[in-house]
Amino acid sequence: MPIKKCRYCNSMILAKGLCKKHYFRKYWKTNRNRLKLKKSLYLKTQFGFLTKLYKNMKDRVSGTLKNSAHLYKGKPILPKSTFYKWAISNPKYIELYNVYVASGYDRKLAPSIDRINPDKGYTMSNIEWVTNSENCRRASITKLRLRG
Ligand SMILES: [Zn+2]
């Protein structure tokens, strides 16, 4: 896969089609909410991205997301620290994360956690890494099966 480059130079993309230097030049001074900007950048780092993923899983099993509560609510989830420890050094995660970064943070290529058995929760033996688009594809197949 070709590595996406900044609009103005040959560096890798950080956000909005721009490298770190050009991104900050354009947005940092004009952005009133620097904390928000900092947070969005943190969530793109190899570790920060995991914190976002874990929060999404947690929201699903706690039933916060209304439209998917029937699929996830009350299902078990592994502890946060266990998830981080497992994920941060997982070769599949590192591989997917690097492709995601190289694509200029293409959402379809974002690493995602899939449950091998959709009837079970987010437990160590039931989770695996896939790309976001692969996860959506699998989810739609599961929905079709439930309907049929
Ligand atoms: Zn640049």
Q: 118 C-alpha vs ligand 1 centroid, how far in Å?
A: 42
Position 31 scores a pLDDT of 61
Q: 28 C-alpha vs ligand 1 centroid, how far in Å?
A: 14
Neighbours of ion ligand 1 (CB under 5 A): 6, 8-9, 11, 19, 22
Q: 23 C-alpha vs ligand 1 centroid, how far in Å?
A: 7
What confidence tens digit (pLDDT) does each residue in 25-60 have?
Answer: 887 776 666 777 788 889 999 999 999 999 999 999
Q: Which position has the token pair 């694509």?
A: 103
Residue 130 DSSP symbol = E
Q: 102 C-alpha vs ligand 1 centroid, how far in Å?
A: 14
CA angle, residues 103, 94, 13, in degrees to nearest 5: 25
Q: 100 C-alpha vs ligand 1 centroid, how far in Å?
A: 18
Position 1 scores a pLDDT of 66
Specify the 3-state DSSP secondary structure of 58: helix
Specify the 3-state DSSP secondary structure of 134: helix
CA distances to 35, 38, 44, 96, 114 from 32, rounded to whole Å, are 9, 12, 20, 33, 37
Position 39 scores a pLDDT of 84
Q: 104 C-alpha vs ligand 1 centroid, how far in Å?
A: 12
CA distance 133 to 111: 9
Position 75 scores a pLDDT of 93
